Amino acid sequence: MAPFMDDEKSLLEWLQWPMVILIVTTPLRFALEVAGIPKQVTQFFSSTVFVYVLAVYLGVAMTREVGGPLYRLLGAGFALGYVNGFMTLIATLLSTYASLETHYRHHNLNVSDAQHILMKHIILTPLYTSVAACVVLLLVYFVAGKIREGRR
């Protein structure tokens, strides 16, 4: 049981800064849009893009450990996707129900639309983003690992 606990702690250590970045990105974009910054500027603070950038970073960084378990890579990918989805859901609900003009706002909402928003941001988008992040993480991890082995 002890090795599993060490691996779990290591995963949390790997995810500490990427999660902080994701948790800050969506509120930053939200605040900039509420402040009136044009969407041509705020679009560069896309949390989904940050998910993939962080997946590439983690894929490379995790090659430093010899024989990192597959579940650690998959756990990182799903953590990235679901944290992104949760933060986007909060921004969407705030924008929509406070009638704030942001990228996250849905106009003319009715009950079925609200259910669609919840389904999209709790289940569908995080799942798609997580799977894509896992694919990126695995590809980068294995390619970076082969490059690292070739340099030895």
Closest listed residue to residue 33, CA positions, set 6, 25, 5: 25
The mean of the pLDDT values for the chain is: 83
Secondary structure of the chain: what % helix, strand, coil (to 5)?
85, 0, 15
Give me the mean pLDDT over the 39-62 stretch. 90
The pTM is what? 0.81
User: Is the separation of the CB atoms in 133 and 141 below 8 Å?
Assistant: no
Least confident of 28-32, 97-101, 113-117, 131-135: 113-117
The structural domains of the chain, with segments of one domain joined by +, span: 2-151
Task: Note the pLDDT tens digit of each residue in 86-114.
Answer: 998 888 888 888 888 888 776 566 656 77
Q: Cα(128)–Cα(144) distance, rounded to whole angstroms?
A: 24
For residues 66 and 147, what is the distance between their CA atoms, to the nearest angstrom? Answer: 14
